[in-house]
């Protein structure tokens, strides 16, 4: 059974940093691209970032480019999202999601339960 | 990358069919086969119900079907059931570095 478990969310001040982790199990982690998707409370979904199975290709939404960094540790079956220079508009539930393919296709067949990031002073 | 356009809400009685549209551009929906649909119940993570325009993952009822014409994709829910009441989102691959885009979301109400 595929399981994705996010951690690392919490309250942070504007301009601060946070690192999210996503522990994966139940599938061969290195064979699939992974992504982060966020959802502002009561609002819609927003694709944030994606990474290929091998970790050599990364992609970002314009809204986070230059501030967020996606990475993965395949031997540890873990996905990360390093978030810097956080803004109030980054407040959201962040989901880790498994892609259907090795190269990101924005087709997410499994999702974690989400972790809430709140940016506020 | 602008969000794909979906109707804010649709409704139908049990047993009826409803169709949700998802309008993008030739740079996303119209340009790629990687168009997906997700169902999200309140407080829960999204669930993939349609991928690559019209394919259903294992376990998804065949009441759910997808199609695409030009820059607009559509999700049809036939034989509407009470448990189909949820939010539905489309998504599309968009190429380049800004790789993905989601729709604005549609709330389906079962009357």
**Tokens, residue B90:** 């489309």
Q: Phi and psi at residue A88, in whole multiples of 5°?
A: -55, -35
B67-80 pLDDT per residue, tens: 999 999 999 999 99
Q: What are phi and psi of A58, to 5 degrees?
A: -130, 150
B9 band by pLDDT with thresholds 50, 70 and 90:
very high
CA dist., res. A7 & res. A37, Å (int): 14
pLDDT score recorded for residue B76: 98
A109 and B93: CB-CB below 8 Å?
A: no
A46 touches B at CB < 8 Å: yes
Contact check, Cβ <8 Å, B45/A112: yes
Q: Which residue has the tokens 């067949």?
A: A109
Residue B17 backbone phi and psi in degrees, to 5: -115, 145
Chain B residues closer than 8 Å to A68 by CB: none
Residues of B within 8 A of A60 (CB-CB) are 97-98
pLDDT per residue of chain A (121 residues) written in tens, 0 to 9: 999 999 999 999 999 999 999 999 999 999 999 999 999 988 899 999 999 999 999 999 999 999 999 999 999 999 999 999 999 999 999 999 999 999 999 999 999 999 999 999 9
Residue A2 sits at the chain B interface (C-beta within 8 Å): no
- pLDDT digits 0-9 by tens, B24-73: 999 999 999 999 999 999 999 999 999 999 999 999 999 999 999 999 99
Q: What is the spatial distance between Cα A62 and Cα A85, in angstroms, rounded to a whole number?
A: 14
B100/A62 Cβ within 8 A: no
Question: Partners of B86 in the beta sheet?
Answer: B108
């Amino acid at each position: 059974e595929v399981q994705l478990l996010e951690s690392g969310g919490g309250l942070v001040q504007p301009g601060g940093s946070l690192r999210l982790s996503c522990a994966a199990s139940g599938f061969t982690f290195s064979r699939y691209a992974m992504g982060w998707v966020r959802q502002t409370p009561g609002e819609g979904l927003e694709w944030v970032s994606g990474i290929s199975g091998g970790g050599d290709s990364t992609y970002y939404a314009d809204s986070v480019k230059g501030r967020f960094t996606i990475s993965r540790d395949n031997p540890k079956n873990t996905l990360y999202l390093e978030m810097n220079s956080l803004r109030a508009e980054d407040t959201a539930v962040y989901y880790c999601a498994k892609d259907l393919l090795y190269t990101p296709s924005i087709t997410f067949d499994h999702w974690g339960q989400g972790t809430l990031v709140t940016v506020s002073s | 990358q602008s969000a794909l356009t979906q109707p804010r809400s649709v409704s139908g009685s049990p047993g009826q069919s409803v169709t949700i549209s998802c309008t993008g551009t030739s740079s996303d929906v119209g340009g790629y086969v990687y168009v997906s649909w997700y169902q999200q119940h309140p407080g829960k993570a999204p669930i993939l119900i349609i991928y690559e325009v019209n394919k259903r993952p294992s376990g998804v009822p065949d009441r759910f079907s997808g199609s695409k014409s030009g820059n607009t994709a559509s999700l049809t829910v036939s034989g509407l059931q009470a448990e189909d009441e949820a939010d539905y989102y489309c998504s599309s691959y968009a190429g380049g570095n800004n790789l993905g885009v989601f729709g604005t979301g549609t709330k389906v109400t079962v009357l």
